[in-house]
Structure 1
Amino acid sequence: MYILGITDNHDTGVTLFKNNELVYAISEERLNREKLTRKFPIKSINKTLNDNEITLKDIDKVIIASNYTPLFLFRMLNKIHAKYKFSSPFLLRTSFFFFLQVLLRKTKFYKFDKILSKKYYQNKFNKKKIELIDHHLSHAYSAYSNTDFNEALVITVDGMGDGLSITVSIARNNILKKIYEESGNSAVGRFFTVITDILGFVPTQDEGKVVGLAAYGNPDLLLKKMEKYLFYNGKNFNKFPYMSFLKKSKIKKDLCNYSKEDIAAAAQKNLEVQLIKFIKKWIKKTGIENICLAGGVFANVKLNQKIHELKECKNIFIFPHMGDGGLCVGSINAYLKMSQKKLKSIYLGPKYSNKNIEEILKNRGIKYKKINSKKKIAKLLASKKIIGLFHSNMEFGPRSLGNRSIICHPGIKNIQKILNTKLKRTQFMPFTPTVLSKYAKKCYIGIEGAEYTAKYMNITFNTTKWMKKNCSGVVHVDGTSRPQLLEQKDNPFYYDIIDEFEKLTGIPCLLNTSFNIHGEPIVCSPQDAINSFRKANLDFLILNDYLIKKL
Structure 2
Amino acid sequence: MIVLGIWDGHDSGAALLENGRVRIAVNEERFTRRKLEICFPARAIRCCLNHGGWRPEDVDLVAYSTGDVAKTLARWAPFTKETYYQIRRRKIAPSYWHRMEKRWKYWLTTIPGNRASEALSNAAMRRRLAELGIAGRRLVLVDHHQAHAATAAFLSGFDAASVITLDGVGDGLSATVSAYSGGRLERLEETPASDSLGVFFEHVTNLLNMRELEDEGKVMALATYAYPIPDEQNPLISLFKVDGLRVRARYGPLRLYDELKRILWYFPSEQFACMAQRTLEIHMTTLARNAVNKTGFRNIALAGGVASNIKVNMRLRDTPDIADVFVFPHMGDGGLAVGAALQAAKDAGENVEILIEDIFWGPETNDAPEPPAGITRMAPYEGQEAVIRQAAELIARGEILLWYEGRMEYGPRALGHRSILARADAPDIRDRLNLQLKKRVWYQPFCPSMLDSEAQRLLENTKGRPNRFMTMGYRARTECRASLQAVLGVDGSCRPQFVREDGSSYARLLALIKELTGTGCLLNTSMNLHGEPLAASLGQVFRLMRECGFRYLACPGEGSLYTLDT
TM-score bracket relative to the smaller structure:
over 0.9
1:237, CA displacement in angstroms? 2.6
Offset, 1:150: 1.0
Q: TM-score, normalised by structure 1?
A: 0.93
Evaluate the alpha carbon distance shift between residue 137 and residue 241 of structure 1 in structure 2; reply closer, same or farther with a 3 A threshold: same
In the alignment, which residue of structure 2 is the partner of 1:218?
227
Q: Name 1:63's counterpart in structure 2.
A: 63
Instruction: Return the alpha-carbon distance in structure 2 between the equivalents of residues 528 and 28 of structure 1.
Output: 16
User: What is the alpha-carbon distance in structure 2 between the residues aligned to residue 298 and residue 22 of structure 1?
Assistant: 22
Deviation of the 1:270 alpha carbon = 1.2
Once the two structures are overlaid, the 10-residue window that deviates more, 382-391 or 125-134, is 125-134
| 1:138 and 1:330 in contact (8 A); partners too | yes
Residues 245-301 of structure 1, C-alpha deviation per residue, up to 9 Å, x if partnerless?
Answer: x54244223221311111111110111011111211121122210100000001000
Alpha-carbon distance in 2 for matches of 1:70, 1:527: 38
- In the TM superposition, residue 162 of structure 1 has moved relative to its aligned partner by 0.9
Deviations 1:449-484 (A, max 9, x none): 142xx1000001111134302121112111111110
> 1:260–1:72: structure 2 CA closer, same or farther, 3 Å change rule?
same
| Structure-2 change in CA distance of 1:364 and 1:349 (3 Å) | farther
Equivalent of 2:519 in 507, 515, 520: 507
Which position in structure 2 is the counterpart of 1:291?
300
Give 1:231-270 correspondences, 5 Å limit: 231-233=241-243, 236-239=246-249, 244=254, 247-270=256-279
SS of residue matched to 2:522: strand
Match in the other structure for 2:124? 120
Shift of 1:367: 1.5
Q: Hey, what's the Cα distance between the residues in 1 that align with 2:195 and 2:76?
A: 29
CA gap of 1:75–1:513, structure 2 versus 1, over 3 A, is same
AA partner of residue 510 (structure 2): I
What value does the CA root-mean-square deviation take over the aligned residues?
2.1
The corresponding residue for 1:130 is 139
**Structure-2 change in CA distance of 1:449 and 1:86 (3 Å):** farther
Aligned to 2:93: none
Q: Distance in 1 between matches of 2:36 and 2:352?
A: 30
Q: 1:184 to 1:85 in 2, by over 3 A?
A: farther
Aligned match for 1:405, one of 389, 411, 419 = 419
C-alpha separation between the residues in 1 aligned to 2:448 and 2:138? 43
Secondary structure of residue in 2 paired with 1:39: coil
Quote how far apart the aligned CAs of 1:391 are: 1.0
Secondary structure of 2:70's aligned partner: coil
Instruction: Give the equivalent residue in structure 2 for 1:379.
Output: 393
Q: Which amino acid aligns with 2:103?
A: S
Deviation at 1:148, TM superposition (A): 1.9
Query: Given the superposition, is the C-alpha separation of residues 538 and 366 from structure 1 closer, same or farther in structure 2, using an over 3 Å criterion?
Result: closer
Return the match for 2:239 from 229, 237, 241.
229
SS of residue in 1 equivalent to 2:179: strand
Q: Secondary structure at the match of 1:375?
A: helix
Q: How does 1:508-523 map to 2 (within 5 A)?
A: 508-523=520-535
In structure 1, the residue matched to 2:82 is 82
Equivalent residue letter for 2:156: T
Q: Determine whether 1:188 maps to 2:197.
A: yes
User: How many angstroms does 1:130 deviate by?
Assistant: 1.3
Structure-1 separation of matches of 2:510 and 2:168: 38
Cα deviation for residue 243 of structure 1 reads 5.7
Q: Give the number of aligned pairs.
A: 539
Report the secondary structure of 2:545's partner residue: helix
- Unpaired runs of 5+ residues, structure 2, are 90-97, 130-134
Corresponding residue of 2:545: 533
Mapped to 2, the partners of 1:12 and 1:409 lie a distance apart of 34
Tell me which of 478, 494, 497 is aligned to 1:481: 494
Whether the 8 Å CA contact 1:276–1:306 is kept in 2: the answer is yes
The correspondence for 1:321, drawn from 330, 335, 338, is 330
* 2:186 aligned with 1:173: no
Identity across matched positions, percent: 30
Q: TM-score, normalised by structure 2?
A: 0.91
**1:141 and 1:301, CA in 2 relative to 1: closer, same or farther beyond 3 A?**
same
Cα distance in 1 for partners of 2:55, 2:48 equals 9
Aligned 1:1-80 pairs, distance under 5 A: 1-70=1-70, 72-80=72-80
Aligned equivalent of 2:94:
none
SS in structure 2 at match of 1:456: coil
For 1:193 and 1:218, how far apart are their aligned partners in 2?
Answer: 22
Cα separation, partners in 2 of 1:461 and 1:242, compared to 1, 3 Å: same
C-alpha distance in structure 2 between counterparts of 1:479 and 1:365, whole Å: 40
Where do residues 93-112 of structure 1 align in structure 2 (5 Å cutoff)?
Answer: 93-105=101-113, 110-112=114-116
Contact 1:442 1:466 in 2 (8 A): no
Give the match's secondary structure for 1:124.
Answer: helix
